[in-house]
Each structure stands twice: as structure tokens, then as C-alpha cells.
Chain A
């Protein structure tokens, strides 16, 4: 019996889809049979981020409407053993699927897969309700910005109201240089405000854009900083104790010394 995990954020553009793609690929690389479900009906993107856009035949709406069997709609990722994608429909809207249908689908999929990762659309309306309906757990993605943290707080409240307890936080696009000069909230600041457990921190990394351009998740790129962060999260999901790397700490002693002597902090 597998686990259904929804990846959500409230705010758009913080990296839900990228996170879903990377964690899914990471789990598959660790030998776990994983399926990714894109629930952003009408605005599907997980397919392009995964580089599987040319292989779509059936989609999520076809499955819930009974046009095809689940197996027929699942796209097998030939690069990563055990990784599958169930794409969203592009020409329908969020109301084409109901929470009850999602619950049934998730229950069916977790019989066969170790992990079912659900890429949630932005917002708190129907699409969000569908995405969380069958979820056992939730990962909340945020960036160190007031708008994203505020929306994350709202989402955490809504998850708890829907009996999805103890969501875990992923802080995306952290800029260590900005944290060091006091122009970006630290991880501790964000945890202090949101009061949930941290699952991982992804540094801002241009490799994400490059890998998305190519349709190859960064988690498989050994040289990418963000890829390493995603690999660490994957291992934490599987129960390993991986220490958090303090991305901003590298020059902190040096900076403090400079401050002590009255220089403007770098």
C-alpha cells in the first residue's frame, strides 16, 4: 500500500510542478514505483517539465469519465524505471473532475504504486479541493517572499481543516547571498511564522531553468545544486536522516567580523 502526497502552495509560480517532477524522479531513482498526477486541468505543465508532452494519449479526465482504463492513460517514463505520469486534460476545466472521483483514483493507484504524487493547481478553489481529496500527506512549497509565505499559511490552515495533518514545508528558490545581507527571510524566520516541519530547502539555481528547457528533471543532474537539494529531500521522504545544509552560513563568521569592525556587511 503506497502513499498519496499532494504538493501544494496556494500561490502560483513557486515551484509546485518542478518539485513534483523532481521528487517523483528522485523517488523512482531510489527504486520506488511512483506515479505523478497533474491535477491542473486546463493549465497542464507537468508533462512539459517532465519532457513527456509528446506521449500523451489519454488524460486524467478520460480516466475519471471512464473513456479509458487507468493503465492506458499512464505514460511510462522510459528514462527512469518505475516512473509514470498521468497528465491533466488541457481542453477541459477543473469541474470536469470531482473530489470523490479523485479519492477513488488515488485509492486505486496506491494499491499498485509506492508513491502517488499529486501536482496541485494554484488557488484554493475546485482544483485544490480535487487535488487534496485523496491525499494522505501534503508538502507545502513556498519561496522566501511575503506573498508566498502568506498563501502557504492559508493553505496549511485549509489542509488541516480537511484533516490532512502535519504538512511538511519545502522552501524553494532560497538566495543565500540575499539571506546573508539580510534582504531575504531565513529558513528560521519562515518556520517561525508557519510553525510546521521543514522537509527541505532548494537554493535558487539556474540549472532548474536549463533542465526544464530540456525536459530533464534536475534531480538527475549530479552537478545541480537544486538537484542535490531534491535528492536530499527524496532521501528524507524515505526515512533517512539527512542534515539540513545551512546555505546562508558559509560566510557568516567573516560577515560578523566585518560588522564587528564597522564595515558595511557584504
Chain B
């Protein structure tokens, strides 16, 4: 019964939906004038600031230009997303 349900529910993603998703993402990069060097510069500065207060794992640090939905929920807008794993807080800073 479950199998039958699965079979009925199974929906292969349309290739045009894949195309649209990929396009949206690539256009966010195309439309922004950020170069990879720019992103590296931002990354370096952010690390510098954060390291004043905490120890972070630079290996696992990930900063990307990606997309998010605008506040009114109507548009997809670019966003800078940083994932910075913290190893420990620096002593003496409260």
C-alpha cells in the first residue's frame, strides 16, 4: 500500500524548474558586481573583527553571496550569509 502511495506521489522534478532555479541563482551573482576577490576581502575583514572576541574555526568558515526573500516577501534579493563556527570565547571579555 505504501509503495503504491509512493508511486503515485512520486514526482520527478521538471527540468524547466531546475533551469529556473539555476538561473535565479546565477543571476544573483551576475547582477551583483561582487568579484570573488571582493568576497575574499570581506571574509578576511570579518574574521579579523570576530577574532578579537572569540576563537573561530577558519577552516570551516563559510561566507557566501546567496539569495533570500525580501521583507515584503515579493522579491528574491541577494544576501551575504556567513557561517562561522566558534571554538571558544576569548578569556577576559564579558
Contact = CB atoms under 8 A, between A and B. Distances in A.
Contact of A189 (B8, B20, B26, B31): B20
Contact of B16 (A154, A157, A182, A262): A182
B14 to A, nearest CB: 3
Contacts of B31: 153, 157
A150 interface: yes
Interface in B1-53: 8, 14-17, 19-20, 22-24, 26-27, 30-31
A150 B15 contact: no
Q: Identify which of B22, B23, B30 gathers the most chain A CB atoms within 10 Å of its CB.
A: B23
B24 A262 contact: no
Given A185-B16, A262-B8, A146 B30 contact: no
B27 A153 contact: yes
Contacts of A184: 16
Contacts of A157: 31
Interface residues of B, number: 14
Contacts of A186: 16
Nearest to B12: A182
Interface in A187-211: 189, 192-193
Interface string A128-144: 00000000000000001
A153 B30 contact: yes
Contact of B14 (A145, A153, A154, A183): A183
Give chain B's interface secondary structure class. helix
A149 interface: yes
A183 B16 contact: yes
Given A157-B31, A262-B8, A146 B15 contact: no
A154 B30 contact: yes
Contacts of A262: 8
A203 B19 CA distance: 20
A150 B24 CA distance: 9
A153 B23 CA distance: 10
B19 A185 contact: yes
The 3 nearest A-B residue pairs measured at CB: A182-B14, A185-B16, A183-B15
Given A183-B16, A189-B20, 20 more contacts: A146-B23, A149-B23, A150-B23, A150-B30, A153-B27, A153-B31, A157-B31, A179-B16, A181-B14, A182-B14, A182-B17, A183-B14, A183-B15, A184-B16, A185-B16, A186-B16, A192-B20, A193-B20, A193-B24, A262-B8
